[in-house]
Amino acid sequence: MNSADLYRLIESRKSIRKFKKDPVSKEILEKVLSAALHAPSGKNRQNWRFFVVQGKKRDEYLKYSQKSWLGIKDILQKRLKPSLYEFTERFFYTLGDAPVIIFCYSLNDKEERYHTSIGSVYMAVQNLILAAVAEGLGTCPMGAPLEIKNEVDHFLNIKSLKVPEGSEIELLCAVVLGWPDHEPPKAARQAEGRITWISE
């Protein structure tokens, strides 16, 4: 891949909310997860933790997704056109038929600043998303599970995990993933006021 290909890949990324029900092979999932593991991290702690949910367990999560919608629907109703609001609501009730949900966690401890720890995980998530695009997959990163983070922890049985003493594992986001079944427009990128140049 040359530099032009990389920029085209980055620019082609968009959030997908309607998917084919076709499964994603374990081989492809391992490739995109491997890309995530190649992200930089504070003190090279590689503190990300990913939980890949599929099949019946994915179907079971839908009731949680529906509940998470309740925490954000009023805000979105103010921001979205009615047709887009209704489309987004349907997405939360079905997750757009995406066959895979990847829950992304950070293992935090006192050896690293909190924001560095969570920032490391988000860099890994971006790697995962771009690798998925390269494979022809669609993704939609979601912060809504944070509305019900304790219930998501219970759903994934997080308390059963062994973590080093003095550490805690924290949900940061989820990424739904699958083969796209629509071609939504990409929201315009806004540069004004986003970049400040400082020199002598």
pLDDT band at residue 21 under the 50/70/90 scheme: very high
Q: What does the pLDDT average to over 107-119?
A: 96
Who's near 169: CB < 8 A, 6+ residues apart? 49, 105, 106, 107, 108, 158, 161, 163
Per the listing, tokens 């600043």 go with 113
What the block records as the tokens of 27 is 């081989």
Residue 187 has what pLDDT? 87
Averaged pLDDT score across all residues of the chain: 96
Tens-place pLDDT, residues 42-58: 999 999 999 999 999 99
What are the chain's domains?
Answer: 15-178 (3.40.109.10)
Percent of the chain scoring above 70 in pLDDT: 100
pLDDT band at residue 69 under the 50/70/90 scheme: very high
Residue 1 has what pLDDT? 73
What the block records as the tokens of 60 is 């079971």
Q: What does the pLDDT average to over 80-106?
A: 96
Who's near 30: CB < 8 A, 6+ residues apart? none
Percent of the chain scoring above 90 in pLDDT: 94
Tens-place pLDDT, residues 168-199: 999 999 999 999 999 999 889 999 999 999 99
Residue 200 has what pLDDT? 81
Q: What does the pLDDT average to over 95-122?
A: 97
Residue 75 has what pLDDT? 94
Number of H helices, E strands in the chain: 7, 4
Per the listing, tokens 């427009």 go with 185
Tell me how far CA of residue 199 lies from CA of 133, 192, 196, in angstroms: 36, 19, 10
Closest of 176, 198, 139, 192 to residue 58, by C-alpha: 176
pTM of the model: 0.96
What the block records as the tokens of 50 is 């990913």
Residue 145 has what pLDDT? 97
Q: If 0-12 CB within 10 Å is exposed, 13-18 middle and 19+ buried, where does residue 136 land?
A: exposed
Tens-place pLDDT, residues 144-155: 999 999 999 999
